[in-house]
Amino acid sequence: MHRLIFRQKVGMVYYISICLSLLLLVNSAYTLADVAVTTLPKSSLVPGGIAVIPTHAGALSGRYRNQRITLANFDGEQYAIIGIPLNAEIGSQQFDLSYADGHSESLQFSIEFKEYIEQHLTISNTRQVNPNTEDMVRINRESAKMTRAFSSWDDSLTPVFSMQAPVAGIRSSSFGLKRFFNEQPRNPHSGMDIAADEGTPIYAPAPGIILTTGNYFFNGNTIIMDHGHGLISLYCHMNTIDVEPGTVIRTGDQIGRVGQTGRVTGPHLHWSVNLNNTRVDPALFLTE
């Protein structure tokens, strides 16, 4: 009797383990494929824009400039959603798609010139314009941490590409502006600035999970949020951070308050949105 029960148990364990491995097999194939979405970002074929391109096929994964790209299924059609870097050369761009049967193909799209105007800002803390050696060690460490976060990929989250502005305020600086601090040229503006009084609540523009928080040399109090499948957002210069890494966020949840920490000329939120580890124009996600 005991032996029979034992044999039945072993049989059951064997059966369950086969089911589990089949499930894992199906799941691993599934996690490579596209994600069903209800909205797409606006397509803008310029440096700093987004290429939203129908693939006319069910690709499993895609790459552009050595970075994994988002593949989304919208209304029964598969789209590659590609962040185009501000330093991309005008003309033909290539990305690669891989398929379940092992074959891959290259597709192309073309980008046009866009003029981004200059912005000249005066920073009273000159160390924030010309950091010393010690500052540079910190800046490099923080930059590596942010690059790691921007490269994150979470298959469990469904990206929402139509966003609401994270704070009610005046857009004080747009994405892509050629920046001069104290008349010295620096990197172009990688996000959107919304000016508001210190303490104004900042709300999540889309659902996600908090990847990391911290205090950074240039960015001040900062949150990085993962929205899934390579869509990641950044919030800087905050007065307070009201969330922790791992917090699950719904659209409209308060994540912090506007401040003036880090390199600023006044209280504002610096908001940036990333696709395939590339900073793109946040305005392309706004619904209004």
Closer by beta carbon to Zn ion, 68 or else 171: 171
Greatest distance between any 2 Cα atoms in the chain: 88
* Least gap, CB of 262 to Zn ion (angstroms): 10
Binding site for Zn ion (CB under 5 A): 191, 193, 270
Rank residues 119 and 162 by Cβ distance to Zn ion and give the closer one.
119
- Which tokens sit at 143? 């930059």
Give me the least distance between CB of 273 and Zn ion, in Å please. Answer: 12
Report how far residue 160's alpha carbon sits from residue 207's, in angstroms, rounded to the nearest whole number: 7
Which letter, b or e, does each residue of 206-234 get, where b requires 16 or more Cβ atoms within 10 Å of its Cβ?
bbbbbbbbbebbbbbbbbbbbbbbbbbbb
Cβ-closest position to Zn ion: 270
Q: How far is the CB of 206 from Zn ion (least distance, A)?
A: 19
CB 235 within 8 A of CB 217: no
Smaller CB separation from Zn ion, 173 or 213: 173
Helices (H) and strands (E) in the chain, counts: 2, 21
Q: How far is the CB of 253 from Zn ion (least distance, A)?
A: 22
What does the alpha-carbon distance between residue 270 and residue 177 come to, in Å, rounded to a whole number? 13
Residue 174 or 247: the one with the smaller Cβ distance to Zn ion is 174
Report the distance separating Cα 36 and Cα 128, nearest Å: 43
CB of 120 to Zn ion, least distance (A): 14
In the complex with Zn ion, the residue whose CB is nearer, 191 or 267, is 191
